[in-house]
Structure 1
Amino acid sequence: MKFFNALRISLLASLASFSLVSVAHADNALQMELTANKVIKSTGGKVSYLPVSTAPAGTTIQYKATYTNTINKDINDLMVTLPIPANMIFTGEAIPASAQASTDGKNYADMPLMQKVNGKLVKTPLSEYRTLRWNIKLLPAMKSAAVALNTTVN
């Protein structure tokens, strides 16, 4: 049940988490579809994905958001974010890898995030990552772009 609630929270947050820097578009110019899939890696290294609504601790889940430009004009500089649900831990895998991360949902930086601990600069634990953000430089008219992040059920 925790996973399903996290997915619902993530979906609601994601629906509200995009912005258009260039606003030469009509209302409803962008559609977003969010999916959650269990990541299955075979012994040969092949990766497959299965839709999931519940999962035990330790399961790897990929959240994927596909953004579709529904108008006949390009959309430039589309900023999109995906939250990491509270009961999930980011694995460090983001697609595309150009994502920036945040521990507070406000301040973003390139990964890996760094912090000072006892005067030394160290990597921020992945368990502290709360949101990822991507800049889709160009989403052509009538085309789609996808972003994704992998998490582990805590």
Structure 2
Amino acid sequence: MKRFNLLHNVMLATFASACLLGTAHADDALKMELTANKVIKNAEGEVSYLPVRTAPKGTVIQYKATYTNTINQSINDLAVTLPIPANMTFTGEVSPASAQASIDGKNYADMPLMRKVDGKMVKIPYSEYRTLRWNIKLLPAKKSAAVALNAIVE
């Protein structure tokens, strides 16, 4: 069974994550920590998460980015993006639910993404989603906000 190295994906996602500040701040005003955890559901439907570095095909992984405001003033109008790693398929599960999605990394819209096919609007498959974006209106001084997405190892 082929295993996929998630550490490589985490590193790529860390470097690709973008933060756009509405006002100018020092480069170190925002700290980001990215984790990858295997999503485990028990027979009762309860979900738990275990840190993971590699995983076989079909494993559901949660990528979670925690953004911490390291300065003594609030950061306003923060947009954070989290790419869907290569060799992974987005499941449609996000936190918070306010995420917007993109199939090209440039144009974002509320989910589910739609397109016109034969004159009818149809949902774009999650397998085509490449990037998610969350808009954080206010991140108070010395506080954190987290965003997450679930993806399946292909």
Of residues 2, 5, 14 in structure 2, which corresponds to 1:3?
Answer: 5
Spell out, residue by residue over 1:49-78, the C-alpha distance to the aligned partner (whole angstroms, 9 max, x if none). 111110011100000000000111000010
Q: CA-atom RMSD, angstroms?
A: 1.1
Runs of 4+ in 1 over 2 A off after TM superposition: 1-8
Aligned length: 151
Percent identity, aligned pairs only?
72
State the distance in 2 between where 1:10 and 1:103 align: 16
Q: Report what 1:18 is aligned to.
A: 19
Equivalence map 1:4-153=2 (5 Å): 4=6, 5-14=8-17, 17-23=18-24, 25-153=25-153
Spell out, residue by residue over 1:66-94, the C-alpha distance to the aligned partner (whole angstroms, 9 max, x if none). 00001110000100000001200000011
Per the alignment, do residues 26 and 11 of structure 1 end up closer, same or farther by CA in structure 2, a change over 3 Å counting? closer
Preserved CA contact (<8 Å) 1:3 1:153: no
State the distance in 2 between where 1:3 and 1:104 align: 24
SS in structure 1 opposite 2:5?
A: helix
Any stretches of 5+ residues in structure 2 without a counterpart?
A: none
The offset of 1:2, in angstroms, is 3.8
State the distance in 1 between where 2:43 and 2:80 align: 34
SS in structure 2 opposite 1:28?
A: helix
Instruction: State the TM-score, normalized to the length of structure 2.
Output: 0.94
Any stretches of 5+ residues in structure 1 without a counterpart?
A: none
Instruction: State the TM-score, normalized to the length of structure 1.
Output: 0.94
The offset of 1:138, in angstroms, is 0.5
The offset of 1:149, in angstroms, is 0.4
